[in-house]
Amino acid sequence: MAAVPANKIYSVYQINRMVDDRLRSDFSDIWVVGEVSNFKAYPSGHLYFVLKDERSQIQAICFRESAQRLKFQLKDGDLIIGHGRVEVYVPNGRYQLILDTIEPKGLGALQRAFEELKRKLEKEGLFKAERKRPIPQLPRVIGIVTSPVGAAIHDMLRTLELHRAHLKVLIYPVAVQGEGAAEQIARAIWDMNTIEEVELLIVGRGGGSWEDLWPFNEEVVARAIASSRVPVVTGIGHEVDWTIADFVADVRAATPTAAAAVVARGWEEFEQRLDDLWSQMNERVQEFIFEREQEIEALIKHRGFELVHRRLSEAQYQIELFMNVLSRVVNQKINACFQDLNLRIERLNRQNPAARVMRWRVMLETFSSRLDKAFSNIKTPLEARLTKAAASLDALSPLAQLARGYAICQKPDGGVVMRVDDVQVEDEVKVRVADGRLDCQVKNKMKGV
């Protein structure tokens, strides 16, 4: 490489700054015409979009100060005339259009195509309310024509599940944007119509730019929906997006999620209705039973029954009266019998042999006491003589001698000591006196004292 002077080598930043300077001086005050696409309004108030025509496009910005002065709502598909400048966004080197004034300039090409097709189909009567068919209340099998990737299919399936829709879902995967998408969608709708079990179709896609949604604005899709055997529910883009497909559809839901909810609603209502009927039925039967109870109650209180009641109680009273009389008569009879019985018992008692024995016993006792008295008359003088004899006998007793001061000396074996030799010195002897005994020891023996 040839030697390059250092002051001729630019940094990336320097290049972007130089281009920016050039653009700012050359395009500081320009007018532009183009169609708005990929429009985004940021919370900051700045508006970002792409301005384009058949051949080219450029990134455009309308900052908040200018955006606040706009006299109309900018949106995708608008054809506008704008005034502003061109500059480079230095950090990424891209150049962009900064617009300070925006005026509407009729319709853009896509918008024009949209309006034309809409007018044409409307004239054919494809949007008419009477063409719209009710969707089946409880569909068993539904078809979904959408992209198999992305949030839309996921949201739809989740919504169906959430609302407890008892369905079989057949997904027909298609491209939902770009070249050939419209034809794929139309083909899918036709194909779905050949599958007998399918009762309902959802045609949908998630949010995107005006161009992204474009396939749903094409005639081939509109025709497919219009000729569908089964009702079609559309859920395309966001709330604000209305496509031709939405106009032709039997039901247009704001989003794919809303479309799924519409389909599931019948199932949800079915369950509620079932619960309602259940409780109505219960209530009704309870009422019914209550009414019957009331009727029976009323019957019981009826006059006819009251008469019977009165007769019954009268009869009862008479029976009671009769019973009273009867019991009195019976009691009298019984009392009379008892009296008679007592009399007889008394009479019988008088002839009782036990009474005679009693009389005999009294007589016997009298005799016995007289006999006792006679006996004691004989006994007493005999006893006195016996006492006297005993006293004389007493005077002769050895015991009586003791009373006069004599003593008897006995050996331990009881033998009476008659002589000195009957004992040895130190022998123990018992000496009996009148009122007791003395235990003594022989200290000495002396004969002849």
Partner 1 sequence: MAGKNSEIESIDFEQALTELEKIVKELEAGSLSLEKSLVLFERGVKLARLCKEKLAAAELKVAKLIKEKDGVFTEEPFKPED
Chain positions contacting partner 1, by CB under 8 A: 137-138, 140-141, 143, 148-149, 153-154, 157, 160-161, 164-173, 191-192, 195, 270-271, 273-274, 277-278, 280-281, 284-285, 288-289, 291-292
Q: Exposure of 107 by Cβ count < 10 A (0-12 exposed, 13-18 middle, 19+ buried)?
A: middle
Q: Which is nearer to partner 1, 166 or 370 (CB)?
A: 166
Q: Which of 80, 120, 77, 117 is nearest to 212 (CA)?
A: 77
Token digits for 64?
A: 């908040």
Sequence-distant contacts of 50-56: CB under 8 A, at least 24 apart: 51/80, 51/82, 51/97, 54/109
Task: Encode 189-243 in three state secondary structure.
Answer: HHHHHHCCCCCEEEEEECCCCCCCCHHHHCHHHHHHHHCCCCCEEEEECCCCCCC
Q: Which is nearer to partner 1, 164 or 238 (CB)?
A: 164
Q: Which is nearer to partner 1, 26 or 283 (CB)?
A: 283
Other beta carbons less than 10 A from residue 302's beta carbon: 10
Q: Which is nearer to partner 1, 278 or 406 (CB)?
A: 278
Give least dist CB 294 to partner 1, A.
Answer: 13
Q: Which is nearer to partner 1, 15 or 138 (CB)?
A: 138
Give least dist CB 191 to partner 1, A.
Answer: 7
Task: Encode 98-110 in three state secondary structure.
Answer: EEEEEEEEEECHH
Give least dist CB 212 to partner 1, A.
Answer: 20
In degrees and rounded to multiples of 5, residue 415 shows phi and psi of -70, 140
Give least dist CB 323 to partner 1, A.
Answer: 43
CA distance 396 to 394: 5
Give least dist CB 194 to partner 1, A.
Answer: 8
Give least dist CB 149 to partner 1, A.
Answer: 7
Q: Which is nearer to partner 1, 137 or 342 (CB)?
A: 137
Q: Which is nearer to partner 1, 171 or 408 (CB)?
A: 171
Q: Which of 170, 168, 159 is nearest to 264 (CA)?
A: 159
Give least dist CB 270 to partner 1, A.
Answer: 6
DSSP one-letter string for 127-139: T-GGGPPPPPSS-
